[in-house]
Chain A
């Protein structure tokens, strides 16, 4: 059965400040699938996610981004979000005077901030200013809490496990499973995700269907997440560069 493509990236090229960072990226994520994205620092992983999110300084030079059959390449960020796109940023900013509880309500007025924050072990942060004075792990959990309220159809997670202790990685993995419908039977899953991770610890607690390796702005390899991660651990990204497996 053909899986409905929730997100399709076609031949995407992107530059930042005049410098070409993505060079013809092709990627598609089917409904109910979660993909992992590996690659060394600076290869373009964050650029890909931020471009899909629509941050204006990421300039699309060619190609297109299609979400749920709609071409969103030129759409403003908030329209993409309303169409069902969500993102957990790698380094989200702190916002003065905005309480975490109120931000959760802004993500979704119907959400129950207390319940979500309790699930993310952040209940005592409800009246704290968003990300102000939060530890690395707390910032990541706050991102998850916002996504649990927003409930996007397509979620992008930029290193949700960096700076998080082992205990909390479990919590984050469980939240990702919820956000990406992994708690449902495979046939019932409609939400999808892309996750960037360097160490893969979080992958022990969540389900991923596919993995991609990105090198110098292009996806060079696609396959089983466990297999690829083991290869990277064994021979590093140089090994990926030397491998001529077809995409």
Chain B
């Protein structure tokens, strides 16, 4: 798509409201981001960035396959430590690869809504990750999108490409330091997972109380490829709405979505939609939500377009306080015969029988509740390397996560 046409479509969609989530007034946020200077090494990053990254499980001091750090609108670090893995800031990638013609705005629609349009209408910042054919990351690539300027509209556009037979593990933390309460984060991510490639993408969010968040993600999957997409939201934003789409276009593609959501306040509207378009494709989506006062909408949509596909949805929620809401919407759309789709949804309180069981072993009511909630959030995530599994486990077991429990 020529740049002019992108701009045109963006302009037309400038006021187009999103299908889900409350409408955010884009004018209320600052466009001008204070620039930051590039850093040569992780050691040189401001300690507040490192600390914030650690809070979302991204330990920058530990060995990683590569690193991308963005402060506000400035990519301050983009570096690969792994042969065959390319990490660039997106502006550099656009320049190097002639506008990334096959990828730029090819999966996410520019005019999907005002948020995508807003990203398209401004100079791009974000990352370009590519695993060359057959390459693989032993250590996960770590990235951190840091919103450190109060009231900024942070716009991000990422392109992730896993070439044939490659294996890519990415962990991204998006966060605000404690002093930034207000802001907007719009993140467009376009994934291209080619034949036989495997991608695990783990996103951990932790936001200030007045931050609005609108990620826009779309994933193209080819024959025999697989995806493990994991989303963990530690502390709620004011509002957050995301509904990534995966298109399983090649035979035998497999997608797995896992979300762990814990909301003490705020309004979260999360989901995933998977389109199974070739025989032998399969998908599963597991959402575990805990509300201790927050308002959570957990969506899930599976669309079976051809025979011989399999899909399963699971939305399970616990409401642990008097107030709070969990709205679970599992949807199955089978568009032909010969497919197999199912879902499981439940919203409720902690089972008394489970509490009694643990109390009979000597645990207090509070301890038993904590054990059950931690277990509930400890989703078994497939397709991750062990090091990342351990890291994720630590995140979901964080004490602060269970403060209300």
Contact = CB atoms under 8 A, between A and B. Distances in A.
B361 A146 contact: yes
A78 B362 contact: yes
Given A55-B356, A77-B356, A106 B363 contact: yes
Q: Which of A54, A87, A98, A146 counts the most chain B CB atoms within 10 A?
A: A98
Main secondary structure of the interface of B (DSSP, over half): helix
B282 to A, nearest CB: 21
A95 B375 contact: yes
Contacts of B353: 93
Q: Which of A87, A96, A146 counts the most chain B CB atoms within 10 A?
A: A96
A34 interface: no
Contacts of A103: 361
Interface string B341-371: 0000000000101101111111111001001
Interface string A7-22: 0000000000000000
B326 interface: no
Given A93-B351, A93-B353, A97-B377, A107 B372 contact: no
Nearest to A150: B361
Contacts of A163: none
A164 interface: no
A239 interface: no
A76 B360 CA distance: 9
A96 B375 contact: yes
B360 A95 contact: no
Nearest to B371: A98
Interface string A35-74: 0000000000000000001111000000000000000000
Given A97-B374, A97-B376, A97-B378, A92 B357 contact: yes
Given A93-B351, A93-B354, A97-B378, A78 B372 contact: no
Interface residues on A, range: 20 to 34
Contacts of B361: 81, 86, 103, 106-107, 146, 150
Contacts of B379: 97
A78 B378 contact: no
Given A76-B359, A81-B359, A106-B371, A95 B364 contact: no
A134 interface: no
B202 to A, nearest CB: 18
Contact of A87 (B354, B360, B368): B360
A76 to B, nearest CB: 7
A53 B364 CA distance: 14
A89 interface: yes
Interface in B234-260: none
Contacts of A95: 354, 357-358, 371-372, 375
Contact of A53 (B360, B376, B377, B378): B360
B357 A93 contact: yes
Contacts of B377: 97
A96 B359 contact: no
A77 B359 contact: yes
Interface string A80-102: 01100011010011011110000
A100 to B, nearest CB: 12
Contacts of A81: 359-362
A77 B362 CA distance: 7
Given A55-B356, A89-B357, A95-B357, A150 B362 contact: yes
A141 B140 CA distance: 40
B376 A96 contact: yes
Contacts of A150: 361-362
Given A78-B363, A78-B365, A97 B375 contact: yes
Interface string B242-286: 000000000000000000000000000000000000000000000
Contacts of A97: 374-379
Given A78-B365, A95-B354, A89 B360 contact: yes
Contacts of A106: 358, 361-363, 371
Nearest to B355: A77
A198 to B, nearest CB: 22
A98 B356 contact: no
B397 to A, nearest CB: 10
Interface in B310-357: 351, 353-354, 356-357
A207 B402 CA distance: 45
A150 to B, nearest CB: 6
Contacts of B360: 53-54, 77-78, 81, 86-87, 89
B97 to A, nearest CB: 44
B379 to A, nearest CB: 8
A82 B364 CA distance: 10
Contacts of A96: 372, 375-376, 378
Contacts of A129: 375
B300 to A, nearest CB: 19
Interface in B374-404: 374-379
Contacts of A56: 356
Interface of B: 351, 353-354, 356-365, 368, 371-372, 374-379
Given A56-B356, A93-B357, A97-B378, 4 more contacts: A81-B361, A82-B362, A95-B354, A98-B375
Give me the 4 closest cross-chain CB pairs, A-B, nearest first: A97-B375, A97-B378, A81-B362, A77-B359
Interface of A: 53-56, 76-78, 81-82, 86-87, 89, 92-93, 95-98, 103, 106-107, 129, 146, 150
5 contacts: A78-B365, A81-B359, A89-B357, A97-B377, A150-B362
